[in-house]
Amino acid sequence: MRSAKKCLCLLMAWLFSVLCLLRAFSFSACAEEQVIYRSAQSDTMKIAITFDDGPHPSLTPRILKILEEYGIKATFFMVGVNVTNYPDTARLVIDAGHEVGNHTYSHRSIGKMDPASIARELEDCEDVLEELCEYRPHLFRPPQGAVNTYVEHCAAAEDYTLILWSLDTRDWECKNTEQIVDEVLSKVQPGDIILMHDYIGTNSKTPEALEILLPKLLERGFEPTTVSSLLGLQ
pLDDT at 234: 72
Q: How does residue 195 score in pLDDT terms, banded at 50, 70 and 90?
A: very high
CA distance linking residue 168 with residue 164, whole number of Å: 10
pLDDT at 154: 95
Active-site residue, from 43, 52, 56, 168? 52
**What percentage of the chain has pLDDT greater than the value 90?**
81
Tell me, yes or no, if 182 is annotated catalytic: no
pLDDT digit string, tens, across residues 92-146: 999 999 999 999 999 998 999 999 999 999 999 999 999 999 999 999 999 999 9
Active-site residue, from 103, 171, 197, 198? 197
pLDDT at 174: 84
Tell me, yes or no, if 198 is annotated catalytic: no
pLDDT at 175: 82
CA distance linking residue 61 with residue 67, whole number of Å: 10
pLDDT digit string, tens, across residues 19-49: 433 444 444 444 445 799 999 998 899 999 9
The pLDDT of residue 206 is above 90: yes
Q: Which residues, at least 6 apart from 170, have a Cβ–Cβ distance to it below 8 Å?
A: 180, 183
CA distance linking residue 60 with residue 64, whole number of Å: 6
CA distances from 214 to 32, 48, 147 (A): 37, 12, 30
**Is residue 176 a contact partner of residue 205, using CB atoms and an 8 Å limit?**
yes
pLDDT at 33: 59
The pLDDT of residue 3 is above 80: no
Mean local confidence (pLDDT), 208-228: 98
Mean local confidence (pLDDT), 155-160: 96
Instruction: Compute how many other C-beta atoms are within 10 angstroms of the C-beta atom of residue 35.
Output: 10
For the chain, give the mean pLDDT. 89
Pairing state between β 139-140 and 167-168: unpaired
Phi then psi for 13, rounded to 5 degrees?
-65, -40
Q: Which of 2-11, 166-175, 176-185 has the lowest mean pLDDT?
A: 2-11
Higher pLDDT, 1 or 124: 124
Pairing state between β 223-225 and 46-52: parallel
- DSSP annotation string for 143-172: GGG---HHHHHHHHHTT-EEE--SEE--TT
Instruction: Compute how many other C-beta atoms are within 10 angstroms of the C-beta atom of residue 133.
Output: 21
pLDDT at 1: 47
pTM of the full structure: 0.86
